[in-house]
Structure 1
Amino acid sequence: MTAQFSAEIDQNEYLPEGGRVVDAIITVTAQGGDLRDNSQPLTAAEVIMVDVSGSMSMPAKKIAEAKKATAVAIDTLRDGVAFAVIAGTAGAHMVYPGDAKMVPASAQTKAEAKAAVQRLRADGGTAIGRWLDLANYLFAGQQAEVKHAILLTDGQNQHESPEDFQRVLDACEGKFVCDSRGVGEDWVARELRLIASTLLGTADGLEDPAELPAAFQAMTEGAMGKAVADVSLRVWSPAGSTIKFVKQVYPQVEDLTARRTEVSGRIGDYPTGAWGAESRDYHVSIEVEPDVVGEEVLAARVSLVSGGQVLTEKLVLARWTDDTALSTKINPQVAHYTGQAELAAVIQEGLEARDAGDIETATAKLGRAVQIANESGHEGTAKLLARVVDVVDAPAGTVRLKKQVSGVDAELTNVRSTVTVRVKKKQEEG
């Protein structure tokens, strides 16, 4: 691999006397289409899971657009990429190829797959875990460097228990990446976010089935564009320190803390999946042993690694001071992403309270969400929140819950709650 990864760090390294907690935002950027020593793309495998439950025919546009989208995804595959298509109902059924295996993409196999997809009919229930279980079986037979799946559903995971669903997700974790999408009005944001979180993918909802072809193309292009596989964020911390948390905070919030793999007593790896040409931000918080005023110590060494090779590295420093002007200075990046993480949490908590009939808690949480969205310039989230609350005073966080809210409005707000924005330049300069 060529070293085309770069990193920047934002922190206030000054701590007050006795201070222990160091926070840093690490921005990692991978540039250029060829991030490796050779021009050969990563080997890849792709599984497309399409909901064909009975509700996909209500209206018929859903199943029609799902077929178009699947065909677009198939056309987007590079020749030689192993692929398969699964039809999801209360079970999981091979659409193409006929047997439980994957085949290399070629003009012939793509044409055969698209013809098989056109024969799909909507009929049956929904058991998403069984679809993922079959995908996991298919991927197990592949040695591809990038294993990517697309999952489309229009309904709730009604025909399996939450425990069975979780068992499948646990079995799939680390085996492949899955981007999940909901279409229509009856999908559940919590389920899609759980898939995305466990399988290091993305989750979103589409109100209009006509959006499906473009969404499938974008997801497939993203997978085909990955240039470095199995990348981890590696954090070294000194003896006596504690890693409070490690979170991805851009382009969406994802807490990686519990997914640490021990490299040694002081070094841990946190999975980030495969990378193409893209940029992501991470928030690392470390509790260190306090030192005397004037001393500077290395609080953490943060690097991106793949296959044992360090792609880029940055140092997190801590220096103790009795100058309150220095120790109380707030780094705008740290403050911004702390707010973005809170924004995701209060939206989810507020909607959960609303569903439970706890109006007081829901109003307080969603009001706080409106306030944070207003402060951070997160216009997309502000518009979503306006679907579920009437905003009285955005800066103050004063809202009223809407009496009538469609299910899709609440689920869209929920599923997109983890999407973040970067700090504006004027805020950073301020």
Structure 2
Amino acid sequence: MADFSCAVYQNEFLPSGGTDVHAIVSVTCSGAGGAGQGISGEAGEIIVIDTSGSMEAAGVRAAQYAAAAALDQILDGVWFAVVAGNHQARLCYPDGYTAAMVPMSPQTRLAAKRSLGQLYADGGTAMGTWLLAAAQLFDTVPSLTQKHVILLTDGENQHETPEQLTSAINSVRGRFQADCRGLGAAWQVDEVRRIAQALLGTVDLIPRREDMAAEFESLMRTSMGRGVAEASLQVWAPQGAEILFVRQVSPNLEDMTSRRQQVNPLTGAYPTGSWGDETREYHVAVRLPAKVVGAEQLAARVQLVVGGQQVTQGLVKAKWSADDSLTARISPEVAHYTGQTELASAIQEGLAAKSIGDDITATTKLGRAVQLAQQTGDEAATDRLRRVVDIEDAGTGRVRLKRSVDRLDEMALDTASTKTTRVKR
């Protein structure tokens, strides 16, 4: 049985006239168990492999090894399928005549691995079609409560209009989760990130074909360790208050504000997907009506709900004070993750400006990113930034754009921009 705990980090003191309360809510799960192994229902996994012409024979061969490595991680009893995607979506396993998922067993695992030998590179890329096919496959097993996709692409979505891709994403939103990976340097980070964010998943770069197997194995092992099928973060705020935003800030940065589903007039639910043994941290910001010095108020009640039951909660408080030594304090956790959020925006905006030749904006934004990376102690981000800019003074953010930058280094910086470092406590 999974066990959840919660901690709240904030400065609850507001000055006279103060209205905005910020808190970091840290939620930890332990004892989650394996996917589909508990009382929360059955689990399903679909591996979607790009087999467009750009993958070429060597890329497809590497994808076969990667898919086989992922299949080895799927627990017996978990339902699964393998889809080959180009400008269409073809069922690789089970055979196309079955058009349904099957439970994993030693026999089906071996048969699925053999079926991978049928894959070949041909045609274009239509990721929306792949997503719709995955949704249809999941629908063949009504008992599934946990549904997860690993999606690999190596190129742009050239065989669908942007409107078609958007329509497909909206059609499958909330029906399954998807971790998306891009191979090489020819795919578009923003395009694939949009899919992953809508489907509560992650996006990352696989620089080389030989890196695919380890990445697929890791992704599937993580998915199999998520024994809690689905949870939601419910945030209550008092009458007259306004929820400014709800963001996941660790281990990845994700703005959840637009995902709000109304529970009642004072409470919103924000889906968080499945959970394993892990800690996630959320930045909750609430605007309250100003109160007189000495007043106290509960600003928000943050609960994690699983299967309709509250499993843990944290309280965000507000106290109005005339003591400047109290009201001027900034919670280290709030400061850290505010900086990490700005860091991600600075990187993405800087790279976008660089891509259109706006070197002035690119230099300013990436310089600010260097400064923020140093302030928040994000050494990994600093290392990635060094491959794109020459750092003259990290403290002031003075940088120069490198004349020649490897496209893979830019993509690595972009995809990793939403990965945060945890605050040191």
TM-score above 0.5 = yes
Q: Secondary structure at the match of 1:244?
A: strand
Q: Which residue of 1 aligns with 2:95?
A: 98
Alignment of 1:156-305 (within 5 A): 156-305=156-305
Instruction: Note if 1:62 corresponds to 2:27.
Output: no
Q: Secondary structure at the match of 1:155?
A: coil
Amino acid at match of 1:104: P
Q: Secondary structure at the match of 1:240?
A: coil
Determine if contact 2:40/2:228 at 8 Å carries over to the other structure.
no
Determine if contact 1:192/1:204 at 8 Å carries over to the other structure.
no
Change beyond 3 A, Cα 1:179–1:313: same
Q: Which residue of 2 aligns with 1:141?
A: 140
1:206 CA drift (Å): 1.2
1:182 CA drift (Å): 0.8
Which 10-residue stretch deviates more, 316-325 or 370-379? 370-379
Q: Percent identity among equivalent residues?
A: 48
Q: Which residue of 1 aligns with 2:390?
A: 390
From 78, 85, 88, the equivalent of 1:88 is 85
Q: Secondary structure at the match of 2:351?
A: helix
Which 10-residue stretch deviates more, 335-344 or 372-381? 372-381
Alignment of 1:335-346 (within 5 A): 335-346=335-346
From 49, 68, 73, the equivalent of 1:71 is 68
Determine if contact 1:42/1:228 at 8 Å carries over to the other structure.
no
1:51 CA drift (Å): 0.6
Change beyond 3 A, Cα 1:35–1:153: closer
Amino acid at match of 2:329: K
Unmatched 5+ stretches in structure 1: 426-430
1:168 CA drift (Å): 0.6
Q: Which residue of 1 aligns with 2:356?
A: 356
How many angstroms apart in 1 are the aligned matches of 2:409 and 2:212?
18
Deviations 1:350-395 (A, max 9, x none): 1111111111111100110111111111111111111211111111
Q: Which residue of 1 aligns with 2:410?
A: 410
Q: Secondary structure at the match of 2:423?
A: coil
Q: Which residue of 2 aligns with 1:428?
A: none
Determine if contact 1:82/1:102 at 8 Å carries over to the other structure.
yes
How many angstroms apart in 1 are the aligned matches of 2:392 and 2:253?
28
Change beyond 3 A, Cα 1:186–1:46: same
Determine if contact 1:253/1:420 at 8 Å carries over to the other structure.
yes
Determine if contact 2:20/2:285 at 8 Å carries over to the other structure.
yes
Unmatched 5+ stretches in structure 2: none
Q: Secondary structure at the match of 1:417?
A: helix
Change beyond 3 A, Cα 1:265–1:39: closer
Q: Secondary structure at the match of 2:418?
A: coil
How many angstroms apart in 2 are the aligned matches of 1:343 and 1:118?
44
Aligned pair count?
421
Deviations 1:26-69 (A, max 9, x none): 00000124499x95685211110001111212xx4422221101
Change beyond 3 A, Cα 1:393–1:298: same
Determine if contact 2:34/2:224 at 8 Å carries over to the other structure.
no
1:424 CA drift (Å): 2.3
Change beyond 3 A, Cα 1:220–1:300: same
Change beyond 3 A, Cα 1:42–1:215: farther
Instruction: Note if 1:322 corresponds to 2:319.
Output: no
Q: Secondary structure at the match of 1:405?
A: coil
Q: Which residue of 1 aligns with 2:25?
A: 26
Q: Which residue of 2 aligns with 1:421?
A: 421
How many angstroms apart in 1 are the aligned matches of 2:388 and 2:332?
30
Determine if contact 2:34/2:225 at 8 Å carries over to the other structure.
no
How many angstroms apart in 2 are the aligned matches of 1:383 and 1:141?
46
How many angstroms apart in 1 are the aligned matches of 2:348 and 2:66?
30
Q: Secondary structure at the match of 1:90?
A: coil
1:84 CA drift (Å): 0.7
Instruction: Normalising by structure 1, report the TM-score.
Output: 0.95
